[in-house]
Amino acid sequence: MESLLQGRGAVRKRLLFFILLGWALLIVGDRVSNVRLFQGAEIAMFTIALASIVLLTGYSGQVSLGSGAIMAVGGYAAALTITNLQTPIWFAFLMAVLVSATFGAVLGAAAARLSGPYLAGTTLALAVGVPALANQFNFLGGEQGIFFDVGFPPERFGSDFSQDKWFFWISSFLALVSIFITSNILKSRFGRTWQAIRANSLAAELAGIHANRMKILAFTLSSALAGLAGAVLGMNLSLVAPGAYPLSLSFALVTGAVLAGISSLPGVMLGAVILVAIPEIADLVAGGLGDSEKVTTHLPGLIVSVLLIISVIFTPNGPGENIRRILHKKSAH
Amino acid sequence: MIGKNRRKRTWFAAAVLAAGSLFATSVPANANSTGVSSSEIKLGITLPLTGGASFGYKKVGDAMNAYFEYVNENGGVYGRKIKLIIKDDEYSQVKAISETKKLLESDRVFALVGALGTANHKAVAARFGLQRNKIPDLFINTGFSGFANRAQYGTTFPILPSYAMEGKILAKYLKEKYPNKKTALIYQDDDFGADVRVGFATGEYKFTQEVAYSTATIATDAAKIVSDLKTLGAEVVVTFGVTQATGAILGAAARVAFAPQWVLGSVGSDATTLRSLGVPAQVIAGAEGASFLPSPTDTSDEYVKLFQEVNTKYNKNVSFDNNVLVGMNTAMLTVQSLRAAGKNLTRARLISAIQSKGSTFASAGLVPLNYSRTSNVGYNGYWIGKYDSSLVMKPVSGTLEVWTTDSAKGPVVKSNFKRPAMPAKGLPTNS
C-alpha cells in the first residue's frame, strides 16, 4: 500500500485527477456568464501565483514580498514578445517563464545569503521598484504600458465563443499544467530537500544538501511560476502596465498563501478563490455602507490587510493546520 | 495513508469549490437592446473620482447625472428614465478595464458615455472589443485623434476637438502672435501628449524646448521643470496637461516668480479648478487658451444660463465650472441621440441616429459637430481666449473668431458657424 504513495502510480493518479478537473472546467465554462469566466481566469492566475509562493516560502522557507515584481517581469516579457515579434501565444508564455526564471535565478543567487526580515525587505524593495522601471524606458511603454493581445479565439469555435471564454480556457489550461508539474516536484525529493532546508538549514547541510544551490533552484522555479502568472494577468487585461502589478498585489498574494496554508499546495485553489472573492465582498459591504467611491476603492485593501493580520496571529500555518489539530484532539479522546 | 487521504480530500474539496464557485448562470439578454427596459435606459461612465487626475474631472459624472435627472423629471426619453452608472477608474487603465467590465457585464448598460482618459479608453476599447461587439461609445472625454479612426473605433463618437486639431490651431496662433519668442511646450508622456505634438508638427511649429511629464511624478517634478524653463528664459509656455499637472506647474512657477505668457491646453485650463488647486488668481489672469465652449461664467449665453440653473437645482453644492459645462453639454447631446434613435431603442439604431442626425443636434459648442455616415468626428475647432482679471475667458482679439481644421494635414480655416438655438427650457424635442 505504501508504494502507492511514491513512484509512477501516484503521478498517474494525479494526472488523471487533473485531466478530470480540466474536463469539469470545460463543462462549467460553457454554462456560466462572461463575468464568471473572467473571474475564473483570475482564479487560475492567482492559483499559479500562489503556487509560486507555496514553493518558495512554504517549502524552501524563503520569505518573499516581491512576487508582484516577478509577475511584472513575466508579464512584460510575454507582452513584448507578442507585440514586437508577433509570435504564437504559447511562445509568449514560454518567454515569460524563461525570462522570469532567469531573473529569479539571479535574484536567488543574490538573496541566498539573506534570510528572514532581510530577504523580505529586499524583495519588498523589488516589488516597489521593478514595475516603476517601466517608466524609465520607452520600449517598456511607460505608465501607459504595452498592449498584450493574444488575438481572438480560433474561428472553429464559432462566433459565440467569447473572448472571456478564450482567456478562461488558456488560463485554466496553464494553471492545470503548472500545478500538476509543481505538485510532482514538491512530492519528489526536491520538495523534501526544501522542507529540510526550511526546517534546519545547518542540519540539512550536514546531511549533505547544498542548501544555497537548492535555495537558488527554489527561487528560479518559483519565479518561473510567478512570471507565468504575471503573463496570464497581462493576457486577461490585454495590457501590461506598472499599474497592473502594484505593491498591493504582492501583499494580496502573501495573504492568500497564508490563508490557504502556506506549506501545502492543494490550498492554492481555495486561496485563489478567496482573493477573487474579496473585491466582490467589499462591493457588497460598501454598498451597504452607502455609495461612497472612496470606500469601494480602499475596502478590498483593508480586508486583505486585516485577514493577513488575523491569519498570521491565529493560523500561521494556514487554517488547515488548526482544523487538523482540533480533529486530532477530538479523536485522541 | 492517512496523509494521502487527507491530501486527496483537500484537493477535491478545493477543486470542487473552485469549479462550483463559478456557477452563476445567466441567460444573456439580446445584446442589441441590453440595458433598455420599458422604464429605463442604463448608461455607464468611467472617470477618475479619486487619484492624481481627479481634480475637476470628477465633477463630470455628477454633472451629467444632474442634467439627466432634469430630463427624467420632464418625461425622460419617450417615457424612459435615464440612469447613469458612474464608476471610478482612478485614471488607471487597469481599473478602467475592471470597472468597465462591471458596467458592461454586471450592470449591463446600454451604452458607454463620456469615458475619460486617452490611455484608459484605448485599453478599454481593445480589451472589450467595443467596435467588434458593436457597443455604442458616446462622446468620450478625450481628444485623442486616433479615436476618430472608424476602422478601429467604429462605434466610438469623440466629441472634444482632437488634440492634433488643437495643436494645429495653437501653432497658427503662436506663429502669428509670438513669432520671435522663446517658447516651450510641457506635455504628458503618453498618447495624449503625442497627439498634440503631431498637431504642432503638422502646423509646422517648432518650440525652443519641449518637456515631457509623467502624471505619477508631476507633483515633485514641477519645481524642476519650472526652474529649467526659467533658466532657459522661456517667454511663452504652452502647458498641455491634465488640470492637476497644470496646477502643479503654475503653482511652482508662482513660487519662483516665473511669469511667462502662459498658454493653457484646453484639457487643463479650467480656472475654477486651478484656483481650487491653489494657483493664485494673478497667475491665471492673462493666461491664454483654446476653448470650443462659451466661458462657464458667461451667463448671457443661453446654454450656460440654463446649465447653471440645472446645476443649482440638481447638483447641489457643486461649483459650476468648465467640467460641469462639458458634462451637461454631453448629457444634452446624449439625450438627443437617444431621442433620434426612436422608441424602439437598440444599439444599432443609436449609432445610426448619431451618424445621420448628429451634426444637427443642439449643443453649447461654438464650433460645428461633424458626425456623418463617413465621419465620427465631433467638434473640430477652437476659439482662442484670454483670462481677464476676474478669470473669465474672453476672445483674445475682442471678437469671437472660431477656427476649424481636421486631425490630418488640412488647413486651419476661419469658421462662420452659427450655433443652433437651444431647445425651449433646454429640453430637447428632436426625433
ipTM: 0.73
Distance CA B113, CA B105 (A): 16
Residues of A in contact with B10 (CB under 8 A): 264, 266-267, 320
HSE-up (13 A, CA, CB side) for residue B34: 22
Q: Mean pLDDT score of chain A, rounded to an integer?
A: 85
Q: How confident is the model at residue A153 (pLDDT cuts 50, 70, 90)?
A: confident
A6 inside 8 A of chain B by CB:
no
Q: Which pLDDT score is estimated for B30?
A: 56
Domain boundaries of chain A, sorted by first residue: 32-245
Residue of A nearest to B23 (CA): A32
CA dist., res. A32 & res. A308, Å (int) = 31
Question: Dihedral of CA A137/A135/A256/A39: which sign?
Answer: negative
Per-residue CA distances from A123 to A52, A194, B341, B415 (Å) = 14, 20, 56, 60
The alpha carbon torsion through B244, B247, B253, B259 (nearest 10 deg) reads 140
Find the residue in A nearest to B128 (Cα). A163
Give me the count of residues in chain A: 333
**Which residues lie below 8 Å from residue A284, measured CB to CB, with a gap of 6+?**
none
Other beta carbons less than 10 A from residue B216's beta carbon: 16
The alpha-carbon gap from B13 to the nearest alpha carbon of chain A, in Å, equals 9
Is residue A1's pLDDT more than 60? no
Query: Which residues in chain B are contacts of A17 at CB distance < 8 A?
Result: 11
pLDDT of amino acid B17: 59
pLDDT for A306-323, tens place per residue?
887 887 788 776 666 666
Sorted by sequence, the CB contacts under 8 Å of residue A16 that are 6+ apart come out as: none
Distance of alpha carbon B94 from alpha carbon A237, whole angstroms: 7
In this structure, are residues A57 and A63 in contact, taking their beta carbons and an 8 Å threshold? yes
How far is the alpha carbon of B135 from chain A, nearest alpha carbon, in Å? 15
Q: What b/e readout covers B305-338, taking b as 16+ CB neighbours within 10 angstroms?
A: ebbbebbeebbeeeebbbbbbbbbbbbbbbbbbb
What would the pLDDT profile of A244-256 be if each residue is shown by its tens digit?
898 889 988 988 8
- Dmax (CA) of chain A: 67
Helix B347-357 crosses helix B322-340 at what angle (to 10 degrees)? 110
Rounded Cα distance, A86 and A92, in Å: 9
The answer to whether the B31-161+296-379 and B163-291 domains have the same CATH topology is yes
The residues, any chain, with a CB within 8 Å of residue A101's CB and separated by 6 or more, are A220, A221, A223, A224, A227
The per-residue pLDDT for range A99-150, each reduced to its tens digit, is: 999 999 999 998 888 878 888 899 999 998 888 888 778 788 877 788 888 8
Q: Give the nearest partner residue to A269 out of B14, B123, B214, using CB atoms.
A: B14
Higher pLDDT, A288 or B172: B172
Architecture of domain B31-161+296-379: 3-Layer(aba) Sandwich (3.40)
CA A204 to chain B, closest CA, distance in angstroms equals 24
pLDDT of residue A56: 93
Measuring CA to CA, which residue among B145, B143, B77 is closest to residue B111? B77
Q: Does B191 touch chain A (CB under 8 A)?
A: yes
What pLDDT sits at residue A218? Answer: 94
Beta strands in chain A (DSSP E): 146-147, 239-240
Average pLDDT in the A88-94 region? 93
Residue B386 has a pLDDT of: 95
Pairwise CA distance, residues A103 & A221, whole Å: 11
A:78-137 residues touching chain B, CB 8 A cutoff: 135
Domain boundaries, chain B: 31-161+296-379, 163-291
pLDDT by residue (tens digit) across A169-202?
999 999 999 999 999 999 899 999 999 998 888 8
Q: What is the pTM of this model?
A: 0.81
- Work out the minimum CA distance from A150 to partner chain B, whole angstroms: 11
CATH of domain B163-291: 3.40.50.2300
Task: Indicate yes or no: CB of A163 within 8 angstroms of CB of B129.
Answer: yes
Handedness of CA A133, A139, A142, A145 (dihedral sign): negative
Residues of chain B with pLDDT under 50: 2, 23-29
Specify the pLDDT at position B15. Answer: 63
A333 pLDDT higher than 70: no
> Model confidence over B147-175: pLDDT tens digits?
999 999 999 999 999 999 999 999 999 99
